[in-house]
Structure 1
Amino acid sequence: MAMSAVARETVFALRRQIAKIEGTLPERLQAPAGAVSDAGMAAADRTVVRRGIAVARPDAFLRTGIGRLDAALGGDWGGDLGGGLPKAALSEIHGIETRDAGAVAGFALSLASLILKPSLILKPSLVLKQGPRLPVLWIGTQEVFREAGFPYARGLHAAFGIEPEQLLFSEAPRLADALWVAEEAARMKALAAVILEVRGNPQRLDLTATRRLHARAQSAGRPVFLLRQAAEPEPTAAPVRLIVSPAPAGPRDTVAGPLAGSIGRPAFTISIGKSRTALPGQFILEWNPDERIFDERRIGEERAKNPVPVVSLSRGRTDPAAAPGAVLAFPAIGSPAAGDQPSRQQRAAHLSPRRAG
């Protein structure tokens, strides 16, 4: 029995709503008229719903310029869009530890620099004119800015090409106020992007709050970046989650070659924690402050440039390591005999509590 027109449109509406929540829109493909299926009914009554890039705008994604990363993030299903971060969406940028806040902020500023790049638009008079450069709003609480600080104005212009008046800050006394400001700012088309920086995993930033931010970003067609300091992954409405940590900088390139002992471009280690393609991956990106683009550094090149292994900090230990002592060929004067217990004064200093500083 052929499906009625009302029921078919209801199914299409439900599928479209689900695809909108997932961040993709369905494309309706009608079968050729007159074709007959195996069941004997007209194939024109059947409609295939497919999600793909055919309905996506060419500017729907913010491309990092790194093909492998953009393809892994989603948006590249065989077309020429190249994928990348969805512009009209909420995207999470995580820092596992508090000390990674500088790398997270630097990566967010790199994305803001890509968004604020001067764009040329074609007028009816066939004259190329630079498009408007909208500001970016950075929202955080007093605790966040006290811990990580504010970006340096002169560094913004030198490293990212961002003018001081293009980066606005909103310091809220509480997280509830910061979320309210972010929701109101996310709906404004007078902003190029909205950055909300949060510390840890607060209970107020739940799935409902991130759904509101994601819906506002979709409605305004502007990206909202959620920066997380020392946060654990949890369910959110963001279709993309990136985990950012600092990578060792390579030597500075000169005409004569790499300059030994120098510090080159800032580098970031990017791990994909969540994406629409569900493809894991780890990338090392270098930010080129001159051309304002990303360059990829291969993992093998990273080891070749930095042959000395980097030892991670120890964690989960209850006591500090024992202090090294001198090895003597004969017992020291006044040392206890074998089997005797040392006195309290003779115990090692590391066994007693010490006050730092």
Structure 2
Amino acid sequence: MARTAMAQETICALRRKIARIEGTLPERLAAPDEGDGLVLRRGISATRQAAASAFLETGVSGLDAALAGGLPRAALTEIHGKETRDAGAAAGFVLALVALLRKSGSQGRNAVCWIGTMDLFREAGCPYAPGLEKLFGLSPDNLLFSPVEHLADALWVAEEAARLKDFSAVILELRGNPARLDLTATRRLHRRAQEIGRPVFLLREAALAEPTAAPVRLQVSAAPASPRSTLAGPLEDAIGHPAFTVVIGKSRTALPGQFVLEWNSDAFTFHEIRPARSRALVPASGHRPHLPATGGAIVALRPAGKVSAPSDQPPRKERPAHRRSRRAS
């Protein structure tokens, strides 16, 4: 018991020291009592009502529950595209989150800053203004597109943009796993988002998961779209609304999950779907009988007929005497 108490005291002391360095309050392990009790989260100190408004709900109950209320509004959030071909899906998912953010109200601020390196935009393509306005309600007048040549310039622009209150969100799109994008750089972006109270989305293309300061990491790829339906029924060979496969790679709750979400560009909402051609995996039977044991020993069988010597070998009688088997006298 004494060792357990000492271990808990050591953990609490370390948590207080980390909170003092980061300028935040330590998390509360136990849930508060009923009522408007004080809720302590990482970097957030508020009542229940204010704590609920600190998260951006996606509208999908399963995903929001796995993320303990949704995506944090004042934080750095990572959106990963595992391969280059997932660049469009990952960017579309981030823009859908921005549309949800602007729909929920960002104190009248609707401008978005999108930053990235030129090599990435040459590979994945630049934003298409008519598509952004039609699918996500983002007009060109509210988009500040900032392509730069070097990674250091992109990080600097992202930090400066995160300081401004005129943007409802900042998108930083990078490719791969550059060494300059380390824990220190992501901690600076996360700190800027906390200070200004706006989200910073780190959109990473063809990147592997690595330690960062972002409390949430989602891996996004394209999913089969559902058939477009009308009052007369589904239309053959018609593509429906965009769909995304979202996998939780990192979150505050550490709960895994995979969801297929469809984006309704008319209502600006997400809802979970199951693709028409998908099938549930059938688990292996737990009461299946074991394989039968081996019938016996494995023996070599002699050929039925007499095997003749190869053409390039002389008969046994004509072989030299020293190659013949000798009998002990």
TM superposition score normalised by structure 2: 0.72
How far apart, CA to CA, are the structure 1 residues paired with 2:109 and 2:147? 23
Residue 126 of structure 2: aligned partner: 150
Q: Does 1:94 align with 2:88?
A: no
Q: Does 1:250 align with 2:223?
A: no
- State the shift of 1:260 in Å: 1.8
| Structure whose CA Rg is larger | 2
- Contact 2:109–2:166 (CA under 8 A) maintained in structure 1: no
- State the shift of 1:25 in Å: 5.4
CA spacing shift, 1:135–1:24, aligned 2, 3 Å: farther
Question: How many positions carry a matched residue from both structures?
Answer: 258
Q: Does 1:117 align with 2:103?
A: yes
- Contact 2:221–2:244 (CA under 8 A) maintained in structure 1: yes
Pick from 72, 81, 89 the counterpart of residue 66 of structure 2. Answer: 72
- State the shift of 1:241 in Å: 0.2
- State the shift of 1:166 in Å: 1.2
Amino acid in structure 1 at the alignment position of 2:277: N
How far apart, CA to CA, are the structure 2 residues paired with 1:204 and 1:106? 26
Residue 16 of structure 2: aligned partner: 15
- State the shift of 1:148 in Å: 1.2
- State the shift of 1:12 in Å: 8.6
Q: What aligned pairs does 1:213-224 form with structure 2 within 5 A after superposition? A: 213-224=189-200
How far apart, CA to CA, are the structure 1 residues paired with 2:26 and 2:264? 35
Q: Does 1:210 align with 2:183?
A: no
Query: Identity of counterpart residues, as a percentage?
Result: 59
The superposition leaves residues 248-281 of structure 1 with CA deviations (integer Å, 9 ceiling, x where unpaired) of 1110011112212110000000000000000000
TM superposition score normalised by structure 1: 0.66
- State the shift of 1:58 in Å: 3.4
How far apart, CA to CA, are the structure 2 residues paired with 1:195 and 1:239? 16
Residue 51 of structure 2: aligned partner: 57
How far apart, CA to CA, are the structure 1 residues paired with 2:170 and 2:22? 20
Structure 2 runs not aligned, ≥5 long: 1-8, 31-37, 281-329
Amino acid in structure 2 at the alignment position of 1:180: W
SS at match of 2:217: strand
CA spacing shift, 1:23–1:237, aligned 2, 3 Å: farther
SS at match of 1:287: strand
SS at match of 2:77: strand
How far apart, CA to CA, are the structure 2 residues paired with 1:166 and 1:146? 23
- Contact 2:83–2:207 (CA under 8 A) maintained in structure 1: yes
Amino acid in structure 2 at the alignment position of 1:161: G
Q: Which runs of 4+ in 1 moved over 3 A?
A: 11-14, 19-29, 49-58
CA spacing shift, 1:277–1:152, aligned 2, 3 Å: same
Q: RMSD over aligned Cα, in angstroms? A: 2.9
Residue 277 of structure 2: aligned partner: 306
- Contact 2:39–2:51 (CA under 8 A) maintained in structure 1: no
How far apart, CA to CA, are the structure 1 residues paired with 2:172 and 2:154? 8
Residue 209 of structure 2: aligned partner: 233
- State the shift of 1:119 in Å: 3.8
Residue 266 of structure 1: aligned partner: 242
Amino acid in structure 1 at the alignment position of 2:19: I
How far apart, CA to CA, are the structure 2 residues paired with 1:191 and 1:63? 19
